Amino acid sequence: MGNFIQLHFLTSYPPSNLNRDDLGRPKTAMLGGTQRLRVSSQSLKRAWRSSDVFEKSVGEENKGVRTLRLAYERVYQPLCEAGVDEAKALAAAIAVRGAFETEKNEKPDKEPDGKAKPGKAGKTARKSEDVSRSLQSSQLIFVSPQQLKLVDGFVQLVKKGETLNPETVKEKLLTNDGLGADVALFGRMMSANQQFSVEAAAQVAHAITVHKITVEDDYFSAVDDLNVGGEDAGAGHIGTNEFAAGLYYLYVVIDQELLLQNLGSDKTLAEKAIRGLVEAACTVSPTGKKATFASFARASYALAERGSQQPRGLSTAFLRAVQGEDFLSGAIQVLKKTRDDMDKVYGPCADKRMEFDVTAGTGSLKELVAFTAGGAQG
């Protein structure tokens, strides 16, 4: 059993559309028989790991890249820009792409129309977008900082005139060394090479509102600045936005032992990763429709717990939707009561706790971050 950090947040957002479904509506979920707003864990993790807050904590050199375009962006394009023969650049890119594919999944060395790929003698190069598409991997790859360094090293070798051996490239690239803070926290799935998948040290629940909601429609129009109304006084564009406002509960668990294992026992980087994650979870908002709604918010309440006990969320506090005029105070009250009642029934569900409460002006983000990150040292 790991040594766990459990995090509980209450964050209020004004009218917004933080995370859209396939129809462009705010995502929702049914809880306790009522409809709630929902923000997916994928949306939250993307916002956190790509934030300046997280990068400042762990350092750019300790962040990975999640992409389909590694072979094109980090190999083929830099080599072509350096004046390397297109055929050699393409061969190097294919070797890097192939390292992350199984023989069954590996993309053919032909374009979709059956023509030879660019770079062969006597052939005319296809458009760059066609090359880019042909070099995409079959799945998103969360490439670690160590793997990025290796890829950049291969590029330098080709620039010096060397030819890459695909088997050697694959042997070196398939590694779980130097994973970096984001890969270690959020894990990665490599279906083509399962042994190099990484179990996430941080589990993130979907954020849900503590009260029932109704998604509303906003009819809007845009004025054409050059239309003086001589012939047509109508709007240049009309449309609708769907939105809702809500107070969200979010639950996050960090397995510190697994995080240290993923980071090769690097306690300093583990502490930085925890600091970055906690601060980002408190201060960084999902980016959906931010230009339309300016949906930036910070947690109004946060509870951090440390201990070796089996983790448990506190979403049951909100099976009955919070009602009344003061959702935030009501939500804090019922959250604390559920936490205390859990302790009465199961015994202490954590060894130590720390919280801040904006409504009461107690605690601080600095203290909460220090409390959580301190656990990475032992």
How many whole angstroms separate alpha carbon 26 and alpha carbon 257? 36
C-alpha distance from residue 69 to each of 76, 140, 184, 238 (Å): 10, 9, 21, 36
How many whole angstroms separate alpha carbon 41 and alpha carbon 52? 19
Token code pair at residue 207: 């954020």
DSSP label of 139: S
DSSP label of 116: B
- Assign 39 to helix, strand or coil: strand
Token code pair at residue 167: 């088997």
- Tens-digit pLDDT string for the chain (378 aa): 459 999 999 999 999 999 999 989 999 999 999 999 999 999 999 999 999 999 999 999 999 999 999 999 999 999 999 999 999 999 999 999 999 987 655 554 444 443 444 444 434 445 577 888 999 999 999 999 999 999 999 999 999 999 999 999 999 999 999 999 999 999 999 888 889 999 999 999 999 999 999 999 988 888 888 887 777 777 888 888 899 999 999 999 999 999 999 999 999 999 999 999 999 999 999 999 999 999 999 999 999 999 999 999 999 999 999 999 899 999 999 999 999 999 999 999 999 999 999 999 999 999 999 999 985 554
How many helices and strands (H and E) does the chain possess?
14, 11
- 211: Cβ–Cβ under 8 A, 6 or more apart, which residues? 36, 246, 247, 318, 321, 322, 323, 327
Give the pLDDT of residue 169: 96
Q: Are 334 and 322 in contact (CB under 8 A)?
A: yes
Q: Are 328 and 47 in contact (CB under 8 A)?
A: no
* pTM score, whole prediction: 0.89
Tell me the backbone φ, ψ of residue 240, rounded to 5 degrees: -135, 145
How many whole angstroms separate alpha carbon 295 and alpha carbon 293? 5
The kind and range of the H/E element at 267 are helix 267-283
Give the pLDDT of residue 267: 96
Which stretches within 39-197 are classed as H helix? 41-49, 52-58, 70-71, 77-81, 86-99, 128-134, 145-159, 166-173, 181-186
